[in-house]
Amino acid sequence: MEGLLINAVLNNLTPKLPARSLGWAFLDEGTAALLLEGLGNLVLRYRPPNPILTLEPGKLEGEAKTPFQRLLEARVKGRLLRLEQVKLDRVVLLEIEGEKGFRDTAPTRLVFELTGRNANLMVCDMEGQITGIDRPVTAAVNRFRELKTGLPYTPPPPYQKLDPREVGLEDLAVLVGKPLASGIQKYIDGIGKELVQELARRIGLTPYSLVAEAQLGIILEGLYSLVEHPASRSDFSADLRKEWEKEEAENLRKPLREALRKQEHTLQARLQDYQKSLTRLDDAAQYRTFGDLLMAYSTQIKGGDRVSLEDFGGNPLEIPLDATLSPLQNAEKYYTRAKRLEANAEKARGLEPQTRAELEGLRQELVNLEQTALPDLLAQQRKTRAKGPQVGSRFRSPSGTEVWVGRSSKENDFLTRSAHSEDLWFHAQGIPGSHVILRTAGQNPALPDLLFAAQLAAFYSKAKGEKNIPVDYAPKKNVWRPRKAAAGQVLYTGGKTLFVDAENPAEGRELKTVERLKPKAEG
């Protein structure tokens, strides 16, 4: 995005500041939108190669998808006070006021560099120290300008170009004899490839026309016109619009493609397992032969870790033995192995055609995904968002209350953070396991619901199958993750304890319970 276009966005928004922020929306891994009350969405697309700063109407939605976006969501809060562009450079500073509350949020300054393939977004404190950055720049990448968390922000090196807002006729003499496009981009600030093409269109020249002295007057008028009314995105070339749409479509395809590739890998692994099971049928036949011979010659075998016998065709055959078992027990062991291999092969025969069909269908989905147009991808995204995030396992308690169960440390962390402050949090006491959330939202749950959630916490823990397991529970507002703790590691206070058997509550077994007050810390 070129300097004059950035300047037009800032000129439109600056008179309306300060503006109250309603939080952030994240459209993809490289796009953040600051929701401004009454003004719309200030969209920052900060990943290369075509960064954008624009003000869009409507209501945008989307959860944080990267650690940097989560940092934006947590630390950049409050009114948007000021926007600043240095000269007409492609660097914008956004000053955010901060917020007073249960936990104060300090004022911050966002630095948005819309510099093509080096585009970046970073969070700084008011002294200019970087506290978060999307794409760190190390000394190995740029030895003159390192950008990392903890370092002071260093702006791009200064340059000397003519400001099109203040340029005079005599200043344009440097363009004489040079191609219009290269001369304008070299000597005039804020104008790049797209805007120089727009300038050429307005003054009736081509970008490659050699500038004559007699043409300086119309070029000056064209520059003033461009400053007053720079081209909008809709006026850009078809090539650049197509490139933007291509990038947007790729951002939407990426998570869908990754999910399909993961399923493809799983199905391929299953087919490999099925093939191994079928190839081991020969082993099953040999194990049966071993068993039959051990049964037939059991009275003649004196022990040891192997025995040589003649098979039923008169050929010698050596059979490994377990010296601690009798010949008949060894025979039974071989029969068991043979049965297991035959059962696996039979299962593989039944599942292999279905799995191959699933794999072919999945590969066709991948082909179709690459051919899906942007409008269809956007429609699919809207449908996915309407369904809500499918994180963790979901159950219904005896009274119909929703219960969430985390299946990993990340899901434990996400579900606990997502719960209402008055929901109830459950965890097996002192035992690694799932975080369970009973979605009460402050309502007093019935005892069967408490037991149901407690037994889920016990069942989905390392104590699965054991009896009389203590499960602690507390309001979610009393549960917190300590600073620098790993995902799923929490502390809590004001908890109570239920004793339940660590069995699946869906089986309906009677639960024993003892309740007592007890503050705890859980990892």
Task: Note the pLDDT of residue 385.
Answer: 55
Q: Is 392 left (phi over 0), alpha (psi -120 to 50) or beta?
A: left
Cα distance between the two ends of the chain:
48
Q: Are residues 366 and 255 in the same domain?
A: yes
Task: Note the pLDDT of residue 469.
Answer: 93
Q: Are residues 359 and 469 in the same domain?
A: no
- 405 vs 514, residue with greater confidence: 405
Q: The tokens 């002294």 sit on which residue?
A: 127
Q: How far apart are CA 52 and CA 439, in angstroms?
A: 40
| Segment of 54-68, 364-378, 447-461 carrying the highest mean pLDDT | 447-461
Task: Note the pLDDT of residue 522.
Answer: 54
What is the pLDDT confidence band of residue 239, given thresholds at 50, 70 and 90? low
Q: Please report whether residue 266 resides in a domain.
A: yes
Task: Note the pLDDT of residue 240.
Answer: 52
Q: Given 111, 133, 155, which residue is the final one in a domain?
A: 133
Task: Note the pLDDT of residue 250.
Answer: 80
48-57, 347-356, 500-509: which range is least confident on average? 500-509
On the question of pLDDT at 241 being above 90, the answer is no
| Residue 152, strand partner residues | 129
On the question of pLDDT at 236 being above 60, the answer is no
Q: Are residues 220 and 115 in the same domain?
A: no
94: containing domain: 3-133
What is the rounded average pLDDT of the residues 216-242?
74
Q: Given 113, 133, 153, which residue is the final one in a domain?
A: 133
Q: Are residues 127 and 51 in the same domain?
A: yes
Q: Please report whether residue 204 resides in a domain.
A: yes
CA distances from residue 350 to 277, 357, 361 in whole angstroms, order as listed: 12, 12, 18
Q: Are residues 93 and 207 in the same domain?
A: no
What is the pLDDT confidence band of residue 484, given thresholds at 50, 70 and 90? confident
Q: Please report whether residue 181 resides in a domain.
A: yes
Percent of the chain with pLDDT over 70: 91
Q: Is 389 left (phi over 0), alpha (psi -120 to 50) or beta?
A: beta
Tens digit of pLDDT for each residue in 294-320? 898 888 888 788 898 888 888 888 999
Q: Are residues 122 and 181 in the same domain?
A: no
Task: Note the pLDDT of residue 511.
Answer: 40
Sheet containing strand 521-522, strands side by side = 479-480, 490-492, 521-522
DSSP secondary structure of 124-154: E-TTSBEEEESS-B-TTT-TT--B-TTSBP-
What is the rounded average pLDDT of the residues 327-343?
92
Q: Given 133, 150, 184, which residue is the final one in a domain?
A: 133
Q: Please report whether residue 387 resides in a domain.
A: no
DSSP conformation class of 162: B
Is 449 in contact with 426 (CB distance < 8 Å)?
A: no
Reduced to 3 states (helix: H, G, I; strand: E, B; else coil), residue 421 is coil
- 95 vs 298, residue with greater confidence: 95
Task: Note the pLDDT of residue 184.
Answer: 92
List the one residue out of 204, 168, 206 whose CA is nearest residue 188. Answer: 168
Q: Are residues 38 and 120 in the same domain?
A: yes
- 121 vs 242, residue with greater confidence: 121
What is the rounded average pLDDT of the residues 434-450?
89
Residue 164 burial (C-beta neighbours within 10 Å; 0-12, 13-18, 19+): buried
Is 495 in contact with 474 (CB distance < 8 Å)?
A: yes
What is the pLDDT confidence band of residue 234, given thresholds at 50, 70 and 90? very low
Task: Note the pLDDT of residue 386.
Answer: 53
Q: Are residues 45 and 86 in the same domain?
A: yes
What is the pLDDT confidence band of residue 419, given thresholds at 50, 70 and 90? confident
On the question of pLDDT at 508 being above 60, the answer is no
Q: Are residues 178 and 114 in the same domain?
A: no
What is the pLDDT confidence band of residue 247, given thresholds at 50, 70 and 90? low
Tens digit of pLDDT for each residue in 25-80? 998 889 999 999 989 999 999 988 889 999 988 878 888 889 999 999 989 999 99
The CATH code of the domain that includes 259 is: 1.10.287
Q: Are residues 195 and 262 in the same domain?
A: no
What is the rounded average pLDDT of the residues 214-219?
92
Q: Are residues 450 and 350 in the same domain?
A: no
Q: Please report whether residue 164 resides in a domain.
A: no
On the question of pLDDT at 516 being above 80, the answer is no
Give me the chain's average pLDDT, please. 86
Contacts of 59 (CB under 8 A, 6+ apart): 35, 41
| Number of domains into which the chain is organized | 4
On the question of pLDDT at 231 being above 80, the answer is no
Q: Please report whether residue 8 resides in a domain.
A: yes
Q: Are residues 204 and 328 in the same domain?
A: no
Residue at 49: amino acid letter:
P
Task: Note the pLDDT of residue 382.
Answer: 64
- 108 vs 485, residue with greater confidence: 108
What is the pLDDT confidence band of residue 519, given thresholds at 50, 70 and 90? very low
The CATH code of the domain that includes 83 is: 2.30.310.10
Task: Note the pLDDT of residue 410.
Answer: 87
Q: How far apart are CA 439 and CA 401, in angstroms?
A: 6
Q: Please report whether residue 388 resides in a domain.
A: no
Long-range Cβ pairs for the range 203-206 (8 Å, 24+): 205/180, 206/180
Tens digit of pLDDT for each residue in 138-160? 988 888 899 999 999 999 888 88
Size (the chain), residues: 523
Q: Please report whether residue 282 resides in a domain.
A: yes
Q: How far apart are CA 366 and CA 487, in angstroms?
A: 33
